[in-house]
């Protein structure tokens, strides 16, 4: 591809993964069309200021997707389970890939979830693997699947922040369970790599992570970063299941099986130094 001329459409451009990937691609000189449902949002305008062309598009609206895909050489495709739900996310993922193939897209990058291929039984892992299978079946000239683990940024979200402000890191896993995590910026680096090395990596699926800690270890890191004591509190999975069976199944799988990303091997293979949890935590305002 000629990155000074060929267009990469990034979906979810105002979200975590899409935004990180769009910023990395722009820094490398790519022509980025940043797709969002809200082109006038501050996040969209921030990308425009970096040189992206902001385009309107909705993963549930095929006509808007056809307009957004017109002329694109590559696509970075991402969907959000927690926003769309498991069934709708799968529909969105398959729809985007099918319309991209119809539009003549040459390289398709899909971001899934680590261990999606391992038969976890977790609904929002299984649906992503079905989208992966659809991408492969469409036979793009080239494609790549990126599979990130649990986001470090999840801890800087409304799901965790209230208890953290009260000195508690709450999660439904035992204190001895290690959890692999990744900083969103690292996902953006791998997203850009997926286009930089598209020929070499064609057809691969790459599980990615940045660090591995137990939650007491994470709480100790957060205590240092926040400059106040934070304890880990193991929440009964039954309490979580009352709100989300999907999330509860994931937590049980974390404890029973867990991610198995080769963090060191990836760093050597792809020359992307992993962001350690401590280094990420230092960048967050924990006040």
Q: What is the pLDDT of residues 180-235, one digit of tens each?
A: 999 999 999 999 999 999 999 999 999 999 999 999 999 999 999 999 999 999 99
Specify the fold of 7-151+182-210+260-274. Rossmann fold (3.40.50)
Would you list the domain boundaries of the chain?
Answer: 7-151+182-210+260-274
Strand, helix or coil for residue 45: helix
Considering the chain, what percentage of its residues have pLDDT values greater than 90?
97
Cα distance between residue 199 and residue 250, in whole Å? 34
Confidence of residue 117 (pLDDT cuts 50, 70, 90): very high
Among the residues of the chain, which ranges form H helices?
A: 16-27, 42-49, 62-69, 81-84, 86-102, 123-137, 161-165, 184-196, 215-226, 237-241, 245-256, 263-270, 277-281
Cα distance between residue 186 and residue 192, in whole Å? 10
Confidence of residue 1 (pLDDT cuts 50, 70, 90): confident
pLDDT surpassing 90 at residue 88: yes
pLDDT surpassing 90 at residue 84: no
Query: What pLDDT is stored for residue 5 in this prediction?
Result: 84
pLDDT surpassing 90 at residue 9: yes
pLDDT surpassing 90 at residue 2: no
What's the average model confidence in pLDDT over 124-144? 98
pLDDT surpassing 90 at residue 275: yes
Tens-digit pLDDT profile for residues 172-195? 999 999 999 999 999 999 999 999
Using an 8 Å Cβ cutoff, are 50 and 26 in contact? yes
Cα distance between residue 45 and residue 162, in whole Å? 29
What's the average model confidence in pLDDT over 241-265? 97
Order of all β-strands in the sheet with 72-77: 53-56, 31-36, 7-10, 72-77, 107-111, 142-148, 205-208
Q: Measured on CA atoms in the order 92, 93, 97, 98, is the torsion positive or negative? A: negative
Instruction: Report the relative pairing of strands 211-214 and 205-208 from DSSP bridges.
Output: unpaired
Q: What is each CA distance from 286 to 16, 28, 155, 217, 220, in whole angstroms? A: 19, 31, 10, 17, 14
Cα distance between residue 154 and residue 161, in whole Å? 9
Contacts of 2 (CB under 8 A, 6+ apart): none
Using an 8 Å Cβ cutoff, are 46 and 19 in contact? no
Confidence of residue 3 (pLDDT cuts 50, 70, 90): confident
Query: What pLDDT is stored for residue 271 in this prediction?
Result: 97
Using an 8 Å Cβ cutoff, are 107 and 73 in contact? yes
Strand, helix or coil for residue 248: helix
Confidence of residue 110 (pLDDT cuts 50, 70, 90): very high
Share in percent of the chain as helix, strand, coil (round to 5): 45, 20, 35
Confidence of residue 260 (pLDDT cuts 50, 70, 90): very high
Q: What are phi and psi of 229, to 5 degrees?
A: -75, 135
Average pLDDT, the chain: 97
């Amino acid at each position: 591809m000629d990155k000074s001329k060929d267009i990469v459409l990034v979906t979810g451009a105002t979200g975590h993964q899409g935004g990180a990937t769009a910023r990395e691609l722009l820094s490398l000189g790519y022509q980025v069309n940043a797709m969002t449902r809200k082109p006038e949002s501050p996040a969209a305008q921030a990308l425009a200021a970096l040189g992206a062309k902001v385009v309107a598009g909705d993963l549930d609206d095929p006509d808007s997707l056809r307009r957004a895909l017109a002329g694109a050489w590559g696509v970075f495709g991402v969907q959000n389970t927690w926003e769309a739900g498991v069934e709708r996310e799968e529909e969105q993922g398959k729809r985007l890939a099918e319309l991209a193939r119809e539009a003549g897209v040459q390289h398709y990058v899909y971001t899934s979830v680590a261990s999606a291929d391992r038969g976890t039984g977790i609904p929002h892992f299984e649906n992503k693997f079905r989208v992966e299978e659809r991408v492969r079946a469409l036979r793009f000239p080239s494609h790549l699947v990126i599979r990130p683990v649990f986001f470090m940024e999840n801890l800087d979200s409304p799901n965790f922040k209230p208890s953290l402000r009260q000195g508690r890191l709450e999660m439904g896993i035992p204190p001895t369970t290690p959890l692999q995590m990744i900083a969103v910026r690292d996902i953006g680096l791998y997203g850009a790599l997926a286009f930089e090395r598209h020929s070499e990596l064609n057809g691969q699926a790459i599980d990615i992570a940045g660090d591995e800690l137990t939650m007491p270890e994470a709480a100790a890191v957060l205590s240092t970063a926040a400059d106040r004591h934070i304890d880990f509190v193991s929440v009964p999975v039954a309490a979580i299941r009352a709100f989300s069976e999907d999330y509860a199944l994931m937590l049980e799988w974390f404890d029973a099986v867990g991610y198995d990303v080769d963090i060191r091997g990836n760093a050597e293979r792809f020359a992307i130094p992993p962001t350690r949890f401590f280094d990420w935590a230092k960048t967050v305002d924990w006040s």
